[in-house]
Amino acid sequence: MAKKIGVYVCTGCGIGDALDIDKVTKVAEKEYKCPVVRTHAHLCGKEGVELIKKDLEGEEGVNAVIVAGCSGRVNTDVFNFGPSVMVERVNLREHVVWCHPANDEDTDMIAEDNMRMGIVKVQKSELPEPYIEEGIVKTILVVGGGLVGLTAALEAAAAGYKVVLIEKEASLGGWVAKQYKQVALRPPYDELRENDIQDIIKQVEDNPNITVYTSAKSEGISGGPGIFEVTINQNGNTVKEKVGAIVLATGAKPYDATKLAHLGFGRFQDVVTKDQFEEMASSGKITRPSDGKEVQSVTFIQCAGSRDPEHLPYCSAECCVGSLRQALYVKEQNPDATAVIIYKDLRAAGQYEFLYKKAQSEGVVFIKGEVVGVNEAGGQVSVEAEDVVRGETVQVDSDLVVLATGMVPTTAFGEEELTVEVKEGEEAEAAAAAADTIIRSDILNLQYRQGPELPSLKYGFPDSHFICFPYESRRTGIYPAGTVRAPMDVRAAIDDAAGAALKAIQCVELTAKGAAVHPRALDFSFPEFNLSRCTQCKRCTEECPFGAINEDEKTYPLPHPTRCRRCGTCMGACPERIISFKNYSVGMIGSMLKNIEVPEEFEEKPRILVFACENDAIPALDIAGINRLEYNPWIRIIPVRCLGSLNLIWIADAMSNGFDGVMLLGCKHGDDYQCHFVKGSELAEIRLSKISETLDRLRLESERVQMRQVSIMDYDQIPKILDEFAEKLEELGPNPMKDF
Amino acid sequence: MAYSFYPGCSMEATGKAYGVSFEAINKALGLEAKDIPDWNCCGATVVANVIGDFPQQAITARNLALAEKNGAGDILVGCSSCFMNLAWVNERFKTEPEFAQKCNEALSAAGLQYNGTLRVRHLLDVLVNDIGLDEIKARTIKPLEGLKVACYSGCQTVRGVRRPDFDDVERPKVLGQIVEAMGATAVPFTHAARCCGGSQQFTNVNMIYDLTGDVLEAAHQAGADVIVTPCPMCHMNCDAYQKKINQVKGRNYDMPVFFITQLMGVAFDLKVKELGFEHNIVSPQKILKRFGL
Amino acid sequence: MCAFKYNPAASREVYNLESGKYAQQCMQCGLCAVTCPARHLMDYTPRQLFKMLFAGEVDKVLKANTPWLCTSCCLCTVRCPRGIPIIDVMHSLKHYHFEKGTKAPVATLSKVFFDSMMKRGRVFELGMTNAYYMKSGFGAIKDAMKMQDVGMAMMKAKRLPLAPPKKVKGLGDVKKIYDKAVALAKEGH
């Protein structure tokens, strides 16, 4: 269907007062011959929306709408006219009148250029058609039958979804099943409660929506969200199940205590781990392994192998509360027995404070300090510690010493490998950046080109952004929860189970609609490959942060659209530019930048092109506008899905079109990255390092193209960043290619 | 309004000025505060040291039981130390059933019992909440204009029941409100609820020098003309030990110390003879002269 | 090894005192220590005292002047984030110490105060003061001489009446209540 573009310019919010609106509408009317161009003083009001609707429904036959006014991040629902109407927003407010002087020729020019880009963008876009796989299933696979797996299964089943649960042991319950008692999840918080895991197991076993496989593991998972095919090996028999999304809940293992000889483990019989102690308590009597006598005194050593650069550098989160619980076992067995807890920091936050107080009132003694030695003295184990509060070395003798060993995620065990073979030569750096560490933990056994398990970033935990999107992994549709994701206690793990189950449900529902999951939820576009021009360079398959692209038998890229997050990293990577989305393509952005009017050199009006990431940089620019922070008027902003989608041709185009400089504004990268698509901004920076040679060859200073990392919180830095760059460009003088 | 009044031992001796001026205010405001018949000493803050908390609290509770039996109304206390004991025991009666039962068992040895029906009120509480600032203002015949007052509520006055009750436990306000209702200025005073050293005069006099010395210094720094307090212990330490502190610490304070009831008597234009100023050690004359007394 | 040896069990008798158990709730934040107006005179702050209890140093706790310097001003008690009634703990420690025969001046004063109270049902302040000095021996009398001017000023201001207060009619009742309460307190612990 031919596009009939209606342009609606809002003059509210001070836009009409600050801009020469005629100039803006003229762009649409005269330059681009848009059939309908209207202005309104309050477009987001009822009347304004009616005005647009009338044109959509009436004889005008408008089918693509450009709203020029506020940022595309606001009023999204107001200007939503259904899936068949393309809507583009041209920012005249946050990026123009709120950050540039009113009634100024240069400000008007920004508005005109933004209008040009908006119109061209619509002209070059198509309405996306959802990609809907055949045979989508909404069953959730839960891997791991401990507390988190069981809870996730029950949550998903309660929401009406079928669940397949696999557990490698012969019985369900995992680590929690081995506990004597549990911490309270509701008042009274100062009392331990009986372990109810058997009730939860029974609920799972009785639930008709849940299929349980014990003594089972995944031998292979192929497909993608909505169409995963899992090969389950149960006691040697193979079963295949189709599932839509996966919750990974395989938990953690205790840190190997044999590495803790300095704390006495292995050297003295009466030094045990917290799990050994738990077993004793469950079996009815807490005794000394050396002589079987009931204990009269127990010392707990916290952070045994945790928060220790020699062992686990991180806090294992559960052990403080675990030792409070276990110290109460000691007191329960014998109120006159002594229990001492030696800790670095007692991390018993929230309601656990009540448990801490309870332990104190039962007479448990707490020593803040570090253990410096464990020895045997007179038939007892003698712990020597630096007592911070007393300011001296102290000695605590007891019948039994319990090491509160930390937790290591089950995903951390196995051989490490990189997803990409790092070759010599020009591409080595990009390949190294794209490479992820995969640990062959033999848990999921994904049949993905990028390796069989979830990529890990640090300490063997599956990589995900723990603040912005917990549960999400680098493999779409697979959601780690509980201690496999991060060290946590029972209470947090239960929340995690519910969170991951909901994520899995969102995933199957969105996938069934053909839409992307977070962070581009409800985006119906997906990358299309023009394979006839593919040179099989494999960059797209290597650089996709989500492992969405396998290779077919002929080593062509084989995209799995349901795994795709629609970031466009593949589009940015492709040297042949054969990858595009219906509404986002190399050509589209290229046309947008080419339609910006670049004044002649003598006009002394430089032009700077900014590619800004939609996730953080665009909001930061919007907030700068909201705060009326002013910056130079030479800036022209093109939002991109992720800097990972940056194709180098855009920079070449910008330079040959006479732009004096190009700036990329993207998210922080590195170990504590903030990139919503994990690797995008990092890859962009590496690609940029390549172009500098090209620029030098063209006798263009490589400083003309720069990248800056900004987060949404850096909005106040925006003017400084942009103005300093403008000053730098002024020093360099105009782009010598302007006149060509 | 009628109250069962608990004077406490000091109102007849070291805090004589308080006892006398309270009686004058009692009459002037029509408080109808009548002594609890045959009241006994509460044990102050020291008796628990040698007999334990519970026996002392049981002895204190006799007064509650007597007041309840007499039926003259809620208990009004002027002395902060007595207030602390009575109010705290009363609080325990109301919030700790086990304690109430045990204490009644002790009281029953004397054929008494306490049902926890009374409130124990500090004089400041009654002044501000029952009489009210408007009434105090209305009664003020000689507004204390220009008088700068350091309002020394004292520690046990505001923290007697340990949790916020009628005033703030850290930064008391009530005494200042009363003083200002009479036209005086309550100067910002950092030590309004600090300890004066209490009853350590004989046992650790340095503590009195240090702590009361700090209070006097704070009042002096605040530019106060006079310290006003509702506590006999604060009064004695600030008044009787002021000269000694001047000697020991090399200071030069000449800071009269009034009971709040004495100051009210001045503002209400009561007979100066009925206000017990002869019991003040630091001469009150320079203040009294300002108001033509 | 010459390191200090923890012996938590040794403090059990202190925790069993009337308000002793509350000491166990201390989390060593130190707010009491910075709050106490008498801290500069104390051997140990309340926080240190509690820490010593955790370690089992009962003798050191009992020798400390800390409880005897507590004036029950209650500031630590209203501030303690753990809600420990520190003044009650101090009372219990003092009582315990007293029973063990301490010669702390405050113990002597408290005892003469109590005796005075039980003699008439109300305290005779002047009589109690004299009794204190008599009981405390030569050193105290020497101290008293230094304080003579304060005493004289008090006498002059008629704040230390020479005559004792009238005896409470129900003095017998006070004694009965006391005896019963002591018996109940012993039962309770």
Q: What is the pLDDT of residue A463?
A: 80
Helix (H, G, I), strand (E, B) or coil at A41: coil
Q: Please give the average per-residue pLDDT across C41-49, as a whole number.
A: 96
The pLDDT tens digits of the residues spanning B4-30 come to 999 999 999 999 999 999 999 999 999
B58, exposed or middle or buried, with CB in 10 Å at 0-12, 13-18, 19+? buried
User: Are C94 and C67 in contact, with CB atoms under 8 Å apart?
Assistant: yes
Chain C touched by A336 (CB under 8 Å): yes
Tell me which chain A residues have a C-beta less than 8 angstroms from the C-beta of C9. 336, 338
Q: Please give the average per-residue pLDDT across A473-501, as a whole number.
A: 96
Find the residue in C nearest to A339 (Cα).
C8
Q: What is the pLDDT of residue A467?
A: 67
The percent of residues in chain A predicted with pLDDT above 90, rounded, is 89
Mean pLDDT of chain B: 96
Tell me which chain B residues have a C-beta less than 8 angstroms from the C-beta of C168. 38-40
- Confidence (pTM): 0.90
Q: Please give the average per-residue pLDDT across C114-137, as a whole number.
A: 92
- Judge whether residue A279 has pLDDT over 80: yes
Q: CA of A489, closest CA in chain C: separation in Å?
A: 22
d(CA A28, CA A617): 28
Looking up tokens 């063209």, which residue turns up? A698
β-pairing, A86-91 vs A338-343, is unpaired
Q: Please give the average per-residue pLDDT across B217-236, as a whole number.
A: 97
Measured between alpha carbons, how far is residue C105 from residues A523, C134, C136, C151 in Å?
A: 82, 12, 7, 19
Q: Please give the average per-residue pLDDT across A475-497, as a whole number.
A: 96
β-strand partners of B75: B4, B120
Report phi then psi at A507, rounded to 5.
-60, -50
Contact (CB<8Å) C178/B59: yes
Question: Cβ atoms within 10 A of the Cβ of A425, count?
Answer: 7
Q: Please give the average per-residue pLDDT across A536-546, as a whole number.
A: 93
The pLDDT tens digits of the residues spanning B100-150 come to 999 999 999 999 999 999 999 999 999 999 999 999 999 999 999 999 999
Cβ-nearest to B110 among C114, C140, C176:
C176
Question: Cβ atoms within 10 A of the Cβ of B214, count?
Answer: 18
Find the residue in C nearest to B215 (Cα).
C37
Chains A and B contact (Cβ–Cβ under 8 Å for 3 or more pairs):
no
Mean pLDDT of chain A: 94
Number of residues in chain B: 293
Tell me which chain B residues have a C-beta less than 8 angstroms from the C-beta of C170. 38, 40, 62, 110
Q: Please give the average per-residue pLDDT across A103-131, as a whole number.
A: 97
Chain C touched by B54 (CB under 8 Å): yes
- Judge whether residue C1 has pLDDT over 60: no
Q: Please give the average per-residue pLDDT across A188-204, as a whole number.
A: 97
Q: Please give the average per-residue pLDDT across A302-318, as a whole number.
A: 96
β-pairing, A245-248 vs A140-143, is parallel
The alpha-carbon radius of gyration of chain C (Å, integer) is 19
Q: Give CA angle at A706 (A728, A708), nearest 5°.
A: 105
Q: Please give the average per-residue pLDDT across A656-673, as a whole number.
A: 92
> Six-digit token pair at C5?
């040896």
Q: What is the pLDDT of residue A6?
A: 97
Cβ-nearest to B205 among C78, C111, C147:
C147
Chains B–C, number of C-beta pairs less than 8 Å apart: 234
Residue whose C-alpha is closest to residue A635's, from A617, A615, A616: A617
Sorted by where each starts, the structural domains of chain A and their CATH numbers stand as 1-127 (3.40.50), 140-253+414-513 (3.50.50.60), 256-405 (3.50.50.60), 585-740 (3.40.50)
- Judge whether residue A426 has pLDDT over 70: no
Q: What is the pLDDT of residue A205?
A: 98
Residue A185 Ramachandran class (φ > 0 left, ψ -120 to 50 alpha, else beta)? alpha
d(CA C63, CA C75): 24
Report the amino acid identity of residue C176. Answer: K
- Judge whether residue B164 has pLDDT over 90: no
Contact (CB<8Å) C160/B13: yes
d(CA A596, CA A600): 13
Q: What is the pLDDT of residue B272?
A: 95
Contact (CB<8Å) A394/C4: yes
Looking up tokens 């009750």, which residue turns up? B165
The pLDDT tens digits of the residues spanning B257-274 come to 999 999 999 999 999 999
Q: What is the pLDDT of residue A60?
A: 83
Q: What is the pLDDT of residue A464?
A: 76
d(CA A400, CA A280): 12
Dihedral sign, Cα of residue B55, residue B61, residue B63, residue B66: negative
Number of residues in chain C: 189
- Judge whether residue A501 has pLDDT over 90: yes
The pLDDT tens digits of the residues spanning C82-118 come to 999 999 999 999 999 999 999 899 999 999 999 999 9
Q: Please give the average per-residue pLDDT across A380-394, as a whole number.
A: 96
User: Are B156 and B83 in contact, with CB atoms under 8 Å apart?
Assistant: yes
- DSSP one-letter code for A284: T
- Judge whether residue C143 has pLDDT over 90: no
The pLDDT tens digits of the residues spanning B280-293 come to 999 999 999 999 98
d(CA B288, CA B282): 12
Residue whose C-alpha is closest to residue A706's, from A658, A666, A657: A666
Q: What is the pLDDT of residue A63?
A: 94
Q: Please give the average per-residue pLDDT across B156-178, as a whole number.
A: 93
User: Are B233 and C73 in contact, with CB atoms under 8 Å apart?
Assistant: no
Interface test with B, best of C32, C180, C186, C187 (most B CBs within 10 A): C180
Q: Please give the average per-residue pLDDT across B207-234, as a whole number.
A: 97
The pLDDT tens digits of the residues spanning A576-617 come to 999 999 999 999 999 999 999 999 988 899 999 999 999 999
Q: What is the pLDDT of residue C74?
A: 96
Structure-model confidence comparison of residues C162 and A620, the more confident one: A620
| pLDDT band, very low/low/confident/very high, at A1 (cuts 50, 70, 90) | low
Contact (CB<8Å) B58/C181: yes
Chain C touched by B55 (CB under 8 Å): yes
Cβ-nearest to B43 among C37, C77, C117:
C117
Three-state helix/strand/coil letters over A514-554 = CCCCCCCCCCCCCCEECHHHCCCCCHHHHHCCCCCEEECCC
Chain C touched by B156 (CB under 8 Å): yes
> Six-digit token pair at A274?
């917290």
- Judge whether residue A255 has pLDDT over 80: yes
